[in-house]
Amino acid sequence: MLFRITSILLHACVVLMFCATQAQGQSVVVGRFVVSTASVPAPWEVIRLDQRVAPTQYRVVSWDGVPAVEARAEASMALLARPLEVDLVATPVLCWRWRVDGVVKTADMATKQGDDYAARVYVAFKLPAQAMSLATRAKLGLARAIYGPHVPDAAINYVWDNRHAVGTRQANAYTDRTLMIVQRSGAGQAGAWVNERVNVLADAQQIFGAEQIKASLLALAADTDNTGERTRSGFADLHFVRQDAACDFAPDPRPP
């Protein structure tokens, strides 16, 4: 009898561990926020790449009933970032919700003077040394000496642009180590929460051509330091899921 009870308990433990593993594999939460205080909780932190530029202001709010990070930019720029440890092979798809009050009207992603966005989600990567040329590694070393250790080997920005067609892909105006992907464009959906789903691993491998690529940082941003404009945006429900899994968004608090 004791042996049978022990076997049943062991089987139950194995089942529970398997379920927990499956649940973890289905959704890796990296940005769900609780409106207990206005401050953004660790491990999120504000990163200023240029101390001469005023930082974008971030706080946690309830926006139309959605617990979210609110970003307010006024001739400002700063990332709200956190370290990222996620197995992109197991869970390559990033899901999130965002909204904007409006776009940056005079922005132009093709120029340094217009490199501003009402909202963007930024994923930084670490690449194997052999995947980068000596010249690229030298440029990265110089950039880190000037701007600090947060300069990545490579990065993707999913942006809410003002004019370019959704799906547009081009190098950042400042560096070809960062690719801009237009996820939303124009003000047609301004004022409402919009759900997003992107395959980060597929995008990174296609763009940077490295098989062994590791996500190292996730950041949110609204920036208007180049155009001098003012914008307000929100971010919520950031999580990674398997390629074949649905996004695991929190229930919409608004009545049907």
Predicted local confidence at residue 140, as pLDDT: 65
Position 253 confidence tier, pLDDT thresholds 50, 70, 90? low
- Give the mean model confidence (pLDDT) for residues 30-57: 91
Q: How many Å is the maximal CA-CA distance in the chain?
A: 77
SS3 148: coil
Predicted local confidence at residue 181, as pLDDT: 97
Q: Tell me the per-residue pLDDT of 158-178, one tens digit each, with 9 for 90 and over.
A: 999 999 999 999 999 988 889
CATH number at residue 222: 2.60.120.260
Q: Tell me the per-residue pLDDT of 75-125, one tens digit each, with 9 for 90 and over.
A: 999 999 999 999 999 999 999 999 999 999 999 999 999 999 999 999 999
Predicted local confidence at residue 21, as pLDDT: 36
Tokens in use for 244?
A: 């074949």
Is 8 contained in some domain? no
Is 15 contained in some domain? no
Domains contained in the chain, number: 1
Is 77 contained in some domain? yes
The sign of the torsion formed by the CA atoms of 155, 129, 84, 213 equals positive
Predicted local confidence at residue 211, as pLDDT: 73
Q: Is the pLDDT of residue 234 over 60?
A: yes
Is 255 contained in some domain? no
Q: Is the pLDDT of residue 6 over 90?
A: no
Predicted local confidence at residue 19, as pLDDT: 35
Predicted local confidence at residue 7, as pLDDT: 41
Share of the chain above pLDDT 70, in %: 81
200 in Cβ contact with 88 (< 8 Å): yes
Q: How far apart are CA 57 and CA 232, in angstroms?
A: 10
Peptide bond into 253 cis (omega under 30): no
Residue 223 domain boundaries = 29-241
Is 208 contained in some domain? yes
Q: For the chain, give the mean pLDDT.
A: 85
84 in Cβ contact with 65 (< 8 Å): no
Nearest-CA neighbor of 31 among 217, 255, 242, 233?
A: 217
Q: Tell me the per-residue pLDDT of 112-155, one tens digit each, with 9 for 90 and over.
A: 999 999 999 999 998 767 666 777 666 766 766 666 666 777 89
Predicted local confidence at residue 173, as pLDDT: 92
Q: How far apart are CA 117 and CA 110, in angstroms?
A: 12
3-state helix, strand, coil in the chain (%, to 5): 20, 35, 45
The sign of the torsion formed by the CA atoms of 243, 244, 249, 255 equals positive
